């Protein structure tokens, strides 16, 4: 089956270029395009895409507002922010709101195709330069208080180990290999972690872990 993709960007020329690029891939199908957030939400409701490429800076409804509304309707959809913005604040907010990826528009075509496949498979896809900025931003924030410690205590030792792996951006397969467990076991642990921390995606777990000092071996 093909990965069904929706493009939301106010630059029609950019959308056309991305469509041409993606439609050369045998496993992709661009099901619709939209020039603003409101139209994008309508197209998402109509076509139920697997992956959405979403610009941040658009007239009217902002990219972040669009992201929130898109995931309200379809929480399982992989939304990848594709933007010119290299601001860590916007990256952090997008991931908190449930985006599965954050890529800069100067990305190479092959790298974009690979990122879409990984996001569709459930992985986080974040530009390497943005990951470094995000970690620096969170390290500069005050340490978490007792409330986070209480939430951390809900997790088993194994779940804390997996949270640490998620903070590094590891896939289920990589986690399974490093912890010497079955990949299906990792998936079950991830679902339990999401429930216990009241989060919606593994990307949000990774952000939460780094932000609250749970991404290092000392926190396990």
- pLDDT digits 0-9 by tens, 94-122: 888 889 999 999 999 999 999 999 999 88
| 186-to-106, 147, 172 alpha-carbon distances in Å | 34, 26, 6
Q: What pLDDT was estimated at residue 146?
A: 44
| 29-to-79, 101, 121, 206 alpha-carbon distances in Å | 16, 19, 16, 29
Low-confidence winner among 93-97, 142-146, 184-188 (lowest mean pLDDT)? 142-146
- Within 10 angstroms of residue 68's Cβ, the number of other Cβ atoms is 15
By the 8 A CB rule, do 2 and 29 touch?
Answer: yes
Phi then psi dihedrals of residue 46, to 5 deg: -75, -40
Nearest to 53 by CA among 85, 76, 20, 30: 30
Domain that holds residue 182: 141-219
What is the 3-class SS of 152-210, one letter each residue?
Answer: HHCCCHHHHHHHHHHHCCCCHHHHHHHHCCCHHHHHHHHHHHHHHHCCCCHHHHHHHHH
The verdict on 46 and 122 lying in the same domain is: yes
Q: Which residue is listed with tokens 């493009």?
A: 7
pLDDT band at 10 (very low <50, low <70, confident <90, very high): very high
Over residues 114-136, mean pLDDT: 82
The verdict on 119 and 188 lying in the same domain is: no
Which residues have C-beta within 8 Å of that of residue 147, sequence separation ≥ 6?
A: none
Which residues have C-beta within 8 Å of that of residue 34, sequence separation ≥ 6?
A: 6, 7, 8, 9, 40, 42, 43
Task: Give bridge partners of residue 4 from the DSSP assignment.
Answer: 29
Establish if 135 belongs to a structural domain. no
Which residues have C-beta within 8 Å of that of residue 113, sequence separation ≥ 6?
A: 21, 22, 25, 28
The verdict on 12 and 82 lying in the same domain is: yes
Q: What pLDDT was estimated at residue 122?
A: 84
The verdict on 12 and 116 lying in the same domain is: yes
Task: Report residue 209 as tokens.
Answer: 């872990």
- Within 10 angstroms of residue 124's Cβ, the number of other Cβ atoms is 26
pLDDT band at 173 (very low <50, low <70, confident <90, very high): confident
The verdict on 150 and 95 lying in the same domain is: no
The verdict on 117 and 152 lying in the same domain is: no
pLDDT band at 213 (very low <50, low <70, confident <90, very high): confident
- Domain boundary residue, one of 127, 159, 181: 127
The verdict on 94 and 118 lying in the same domain is: yes
The verdict on 188 and 213 lying in the same domain is: yes
pLDDT digits (tens, 9 = 90+) for 57-81: 898 889 999 999 999 988 889 999 9
């Amino acid at each position: 089956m093909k990965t069904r993709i929706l493009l939301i960007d106010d630059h029609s020329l950019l959308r056309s270029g991305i469509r041409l690029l993606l439609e050369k891939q045998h496993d992709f199908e661009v099901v619709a395009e939209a020039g603003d957030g409101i139209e994008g939400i309508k197209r998402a409701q109509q076509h139920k895409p697997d992956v959405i490429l979403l610009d941040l800076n658009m007239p009217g409804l902002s990219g972040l507002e669009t992201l929130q509304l898109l995931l309200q309707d379809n929480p399982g959809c992989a939304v990848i922010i594709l933007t010119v913005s290299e601001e860590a604040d916007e990256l952090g907010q997008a991931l908190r709101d449930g985006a599965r990826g954050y890529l800069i528009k100067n990305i190479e075509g092959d790298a974009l195709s690979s990122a879409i496949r990984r996001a569709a498979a459930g992985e986080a896809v974040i530009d390497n330069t943005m990951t470094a900025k995000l970690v620096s931003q969170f390290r500069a924030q005050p340490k978490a208080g007792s409330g986070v410690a209480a939430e951390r205590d809900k997790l088993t030792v194994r779940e804390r180990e997996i949270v640490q792996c998620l903070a590094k951006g590891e896939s289920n397969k990589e986690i399974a290999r490093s912890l010497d467990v079955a990949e299906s076991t990792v998936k079950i642990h991830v679902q339990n972690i999401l429930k216990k921390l009241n989060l919606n995606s593994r990307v949000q777990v990774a952000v939460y872990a780094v932000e609250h000092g749970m991404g290092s071996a000392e926190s396990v």
